[in-house]
Structure 1
Amino acid sequence: MHIGRTLMIIGAVLLVVGGAVALIERFLPGLGRLPGDILIRRGNFTFYFPLATCILLSVGLSLLFWLFQRIGR
């Protein structure tokens, strides 16, 4: 019973996160292609690592969680 509930919660969280990402991409189209993101193209091979985007999202989420923690006290 606990595994089923846990999987449903994880699915709901992924659905919400996916919807948020879709909305962010719609309103901020350059978010995934910031200066500092790594893009390597060689022939048939393409490697993309969004380093600057990851740092920006990490800072934003850290601030958001810090704010939630301050409000919850």
Structure 2
Amino acid sequence: MQRSLIVLGLLIALVGVAWPWVSKLPIGRLPGDFMIDRPGFKLFFPLTTMVIVSIVISVILMIFRK
């Protein structure tokens, strides 16, 4: 568990350092990410992005477990 938390912290720090390049990726603006914008109400539901992030995290965890 300690190793996982350290790796997660390092990944978050790496993404923070690389943010100028990461922010140019279309994550959050993919087809299937819903945006409802009405007067007085705004809802953003990134369905496709959540599925892709979940798959990537699952694959990474499967690789580290072996």
**TM interval, short-chain normalised:** 0.5 to 0.7
The normalised TM-score by structure 2 is 0.68
C-alpha spacing 1:49/1:18, structure 2 compared with 1 (3 Å): farther
Percentage of pairs with the same residue: 32
* Shift, 1:45, TM fit: 1.6
Stretches of 4+ aligned residues off by more than 3 angstroms? none
| Structure 1 gaps, min length 5 | 1-8
CA RMSD of aligned residues (A): 2.7
Q: Deviations over 1:4-37 (max 9, x none)?
A: xxxxx7xx93x852651625224x2x11111011
Give the structure-1-normalised TM-score.
0.62
Q: Higher helix fraction: Structure 1 or Structure 2?
A: 1
SS, match of residue 35 in structure 2: strand
User: Over alpha carbons, which structure has the higher Rg?
Assistant: 1
**Count of residue pairs the alignment pairs up:** 58
